[in-house]
Structure 1
Amino acid sequence: MIRKCNEHGYFRGEVCPECNTKGRHVLGDRYEERLGKFVSGALRHFPNATGLEMDKKGWVNLDQFCNILKQKYKWATKESLISLVESDIKNRYEIDGGYLRACYGHSVDVELDHCECDLPYLYYGVSQEEADMILENGIKPVHQRYVHLSTSYGKANDAAQVHTDNPIIIKIDVDVARENGMSFMSATDEIVLAKQVPSEYLSIANFG
């Protein structure tokens, strides 16, 4: 569920993680799940099907989105949408003024403009069966606009374990790739986006 603390804003769970107060109820679990699925689909995969006008950088008008949302779910409010965005620990969405967008995960054709990542290395987890193919052919998006890279070995391992029990972690030499004109965008503190990563920048990572 989503609640709001008067001092620390929106949070998920029973009590505010900052001050341990209960706060005001905003959205129950069932409604949170339904709203989250719609927001993800509309902002990442099918904006046109919902009637949204999305610009090239993935932004949609917040008020237009709320109007469309209200037509689909009578219980949905602008606050419920904002609470979903601001309480999301994965930082999947962002609001800037009167506009809203997904930060990553797009299958629609967008050109995101996040800040450039300044880390020297990034990581990408794959199954043992995929490792040799990736090292030979590079990392390319399959169902998404960008490949999603992790900022640490541990985060890459966690992400890969959703799909495989014993992932192989590949290290990307970002410094060298950047010198050769590649761009790596920081979508969140944990996720970095690239259009693709050629094989010459890849190697098997040692733990840590």
Structure 2
Amino acid sequence: MEDIRMCPKHGFYRGESCKKCGYVGEVILDKERVEKLGRFISGLLRHYPDKYRLEMDENGWVDFGKLVRVVKRRFKWANQWLVKAIVYSDEKGRYEISNDKIRARYGHSVDVKLNDLPEAEEETLYYGTSEEEASRVMEVGIKPVNRRYVHLSTTLEKGEEVARLRTDEPIVLVIDAKEAKKDGIRFIKVNENIVLAEEIPPKYIKDFIRV
């Protein structure tokens, strides 16, 4: 976890200096508070909006002002500016703010449709995993665990990166998204690295790579 700072030219960023221009700004949110606030926002937008009476639509959007009020009740030092700092400095593109609404773009356990996100154009996708899990999903397919959607990677490199978070002996499964689309499986593009799908039947797993 890194501190969040502000660059006058490029806005919020994480780390010592702005990656776009090298500017070293003052810390506006230290890493301990980044972790606390980030975890709470993630929970509100992905897992338990109802617990805090946040009305979420089918595409995952909640009212930004209402979310800020919930956050301020939990953390007296927080405000809408710091919530925006969490969102806009996040290099993985976890969150989105638009028209006084905020949402998580992926990682949900609550039931969301995400119909306003684009269809993925990639014909091949990748799923990083362990050897043990790879043997199982080759037989039964890839299904979400504690999530609404399966998370797939757009490149082999990203698939390997995900796999190495789980195991020292990573396996990357190669998904034939082109054929799956023909059979009606929907692939949702959430950012340049991540694509979502409800489930991947085993017949679309066309190869596995030891990396």
Question: Partner of 2:11 in structure 1?
Answer: 9
Alignment deviations for residues 69-107 of structure 1 (CA, whole Å, 9 cap, x no partner): 111111001010001100001111111110000010001
With normalisation by structure 2, the TM-score equals 0.94
Note if contact 1:124-1:149 (Cα within 8 Å) is conserved in structure 2: yes
Matched, 1:53 2:55: yes
State the secondary structure of the residue aligned to 1:132: helix
Question: Partner of 1:112 in structure 2?
Answer: 114
Note if contact 1:126-1:168 (Cα within 8 Å) is conserved in structure 2: yes
1:56-75 matches, within 5 Å, as 56-75=58-77
Question: Partner of 1:140 in structure 2?
Answer: 143
Q: Which runs of 4+ in 1 moved over 3 A?
A: 205-208
Question: Partner of 1:125 in structure 2?
Answer: 128
Note if contact 2:5-2:12 (Cα within 8 Å) is conserved in structure 1: yes
- Once the two structures are TM-superposed, the CA of residue 181 in structure 1 deviates from its matched residue by 1.1
Note if contact 2:160-2:172 (Cα within 8 Å) is conserved in structure 1: yes
Question: Partner of 1:34 in structure 2?
Answer: 36
Note if contact 1:153-1:207 (Cα within 8 Å) is conserved in structure 2: no
- Rounded to whole Å, the distance in 1 between the matches of 2:131 and 2:209 is 15
- Rounded to whole Å, the distance in 2 between the matches of 1:29 and 1:202 is 40
Matched, 1:164 2:167: yes
Q: What is the number of equivalent residue pairs in this alignment?
A: 208
- Once the two structures are TM-superposed, the CA of residue 23 in structure 1 deviates from its matched residue by 2.5
- Rounded to whole Å, the distance in 2 between the matches of 1:206 and 1:49 is 42
Note if contact 2:87-2:95 (Cα within 8 Å) is conserved in structure 1: yes
Where structure 2 has 5 or more consecutive residues not aligned to the other structure, the ranges are none
Question: Partner of 1:198 in structure 2?
Answer: 201
Alignment deviations for residues 44-91 of structure 1 (CA, whole Å, 9 cap, x no partner): 111111221111111000001011111111100101000110000111
- Once the two structures are TM-superposed, the CA of residue 188 in structure 1 deviates from its matched residue by 1.2
- Once the two structures are TM-superposed, the CA of residue 21 in structure 1 deviates from its matched residue by 1.4
Note if contact 2:111-2:148 (Cα within 8 Å) is conserved in structure 1: yes
Matched, 1:186 2:189: yes
More moved, 55-64 vs 13-22: 13-22
- Once the two structures are TM-superposed, the CA of residue 26 in structure 1 deviates from its matched residue by 1.9
State the secondary structure of the residue aligned to 2:151: strand
Alignment deviations for residues 118-161 of structure 1 (CA, whole Å, 9 cap, x no partner): 01100002211122221111111121000000011111111111
- Once the two structures are TM-superposed, the CA of residue 3 in structure 1 deviates from its matched residue by 1.1
With normalisation by structure 1, the TM-score equals 0.96
Q: Determine which of 78, 81, 101 is the counterpart of 2:80.
A: 78
- Rounded to whole Å, the distance in 2 between the matches of 1:190 and 1:101 is 18
Identity of aligned residues (%): 43
- Rounded to whole Å, the distance in 1 between the matches of 2:166 and 2:19 is 30
